[in-house]
Amino acid sequence: MYPSRFRYEAPRSIAEAISLLSQGGDEAKVLAGGQSLVPLMKLRFASPELIVDINNIGGLDYHREDADGTIRIGALCRHADLERSDLLRSKQPVMAEAAPLIADPIVRNRGTLVGSLCHADPQGDWASVVTALGGYVVARGPGGRRSIPITDFVTGPFQNALAPDEIAVEAVIPAPKDALAGGYLKLERRVGDFATVGVAVATETSNGMVTRAGIALTGVGGATISATDAAQALVGQPLTAQTIAQAAELAAAAARPRTDHRGSAEYKRHMVRTFVVRILSRGDSSEEQTAGHPDTAASPGPAGPEDTAGRGNDTSGDSAERAA
């Protein structure tokens, strides 16, 4: 299907883009990578009257580290830039592990991390990663700049906190104060698919004790879930089989999965538990890890209908179906 008729503008500055958005009001949409917006428009799940394409605005395609270790990702930094990033590989293990798991190479070449946060798909991977890392989004509008913690930015499925005349100009990951570890694990029916379940975990440790933790879940609720009780249970504790098992239980309890064509609710909850254990166990040096390891991955777990070999391909239509 073709999109509805729309006016197209390609401003060359953020100020110009904001002015256009102010004129367009609720009927205007920013276009970044177009990997979510264009399929929705083609299916007519979205019919904006004005498209403000920000791809001609210079200086938004960066990702860089400040002197204090803060990482900033500009609105036109593509998933592929992050996948190939030496900075992330050396400094940011959670993002480095997630980047190659976003969609497929074609989508990664155009899609952006900031666009993914704005799109606020409950199955979007970056929102979980940024949530676990305690990140925030910087928005610019007629009133200037403001920073919005990611937990306030994603307000629901496919909803964000931006005003119609605001642009998200960058996402920011605060510098860790202590040794950072963690990762992102994703269960998908086939490579390139949206998450059946995704789990992001970030920990900071000092002298063997966890000083900060973040755990966030993809695809197991109506929006990205910040498993705060699970993360908080780790703080002030060493990473042992017991503390890991407790965090995994609390994360599974925080999940709100639904049974669907991707698997049963019970199976998805089981996978949340398993992924939390797997990621945290990378930092567990206790003897229990080899003795009585809590990772349930070896057990068959509740049966799920997943067939990783050749089940239906996830398409933009699937994304649109979920957006509707």
Ligand X SMILES: Cc1cc2nc3c(=O)[nH]c(=O)nc-3n(C[C@H](O)[C@H](O)[C@H](O)COP(=O)(O)OP(=O)(O)OC[C@H]3O[C@@H](n4cnc5c(N)ncnc54)[C@H](O)[C@@H]3O)c2cc1C
> Which residues inside 170-199 make contact with ligand X, applying CB under 6 A?
194
Q: How far is the CB of 274 from ligand X (least distance, A)?
A: 20
Considering beta carbons, is residue 114 or 250 the nearer one to ligand X?
114
CB 114 within 8 A of CB 153: no
How far apart (Å, rounded) are the C-alpha atoms in residues 132 and 323? Answer: 24
20 part of the interface to ligand X, by CB under 6 A: no
Q: Does the footprint of ligand X cover residue 130 (CB under 6 A)?
A: no
Piece of 119-127, 244-252, 275-283, 304-312 that binds ligand X (CB under 6 A): 119-127
Applying CB under 6 A, does 168 fall inside the site for ligand X?
yes
What is the smallest separation between the CB atom of 114 and ligand X, expressed in angstroms?
A: 5
Judged by CB under 6 A, the residue of 24, 93, 115, 214 near ligand X is 115
**Strand order, beta sheet including 136-141:** 63-65, 71-74, 167-173, 136-141, 144-149
Q: Which of 19, 22, 70, 316 is in the footprint of ligand X by CB under 6 A? A: 316
Q: Which lies closer to ligand X via its Cβ, residue 83 or residue 249?
A: 83
Of 126 and 136, nearer to ligand X (C-beta) is 126
Nearer to ligand X by C-beta: 29 or 262? Answer: 29
Candidate ranges 2-10, 89-97, 122-130, 287-295; the one touching ligand X (CB under 6 A): 122-130
- Structural element, H or E, at residue 186: strand 179-187
Shortest spacing between CB 210 and ligand X, in angstroms: 27
When asked if residue 14 is in the footprint of ligand X (CB under 6 A), the reply is: no
DSSP 3-state helix, strand, coil percentages of the chain (rounded to 5)? 35, 25, 40
Say how far apart CA 197 and CA 207 lie, in whole Å. 32
> Which string of x and - marks every residue 23-62 that binds ligand X (by CB under 6 A)?
------xxxxxxxxx-x-----------------------
* Cα–Cα distance measured from residue 134 to residue 151, given in angstroms and rounded to the nearest whole number: 8
Number of H helices, E strands in the chain: 14, 14
Q: Which residues pair with 185 in a beta bridge?
A: 199
Q: How far apart are CA 145 and CA 186, in angstroms?
A: 34
Cβ neighbors of 186 (< 8 A, separation 6 or more) are: 98, 101, 125, 195, 197, 198, 199, 218
Measured CA to CA, the distance from residue 15 to residue 22 in angstroms comes to 11
Q: Give the CB-nearest residue to ligand X.
A: 111
232 binds ligand X (CB under 6 A): no
279 and 183 Cβ atoms separated by less than 8 Å: yes
CB of 275 to ligand X, least distance (A): 16
Strands 136-141 and 28-31: unpaired
Among 75, 223, 255, 280, binds ligand X (CB under 6 A): 75
Report 244-273 residues binding ligand X (CB under 6 A).
none
Q: Is residue 164 a contact residue for ligand X (CB under 6 A)?
A: no
* Listed ranges 61-69, 120-128, 228-236, 271-279: which one lies at the site for ligand X (CB under 6 A): 120-128
Between 34 and 301, CB nearer to ligand X = 34
Give the number of other CB atoms < 10 A from CB of residue 286: 17
10 near ligand X, judged by CB under 6 A: no
Residue 109 to residues 112, 113, 184, 319, Cα–Cα distance (Å): 9, 11, 20, 18
Q: Which amino acid is at 137?
A: V
Please give the helix or strand (H or E) that residue 90 lies within, else none: helix 86-91
Which residues sit at the interface with ligand X, rule CB under 6 A?
29-37, 39, 75, 102-103, 107, 111-112, 114-116, 118-119, 121, 124-126, 162, 167-168, 194, 315-316, 319
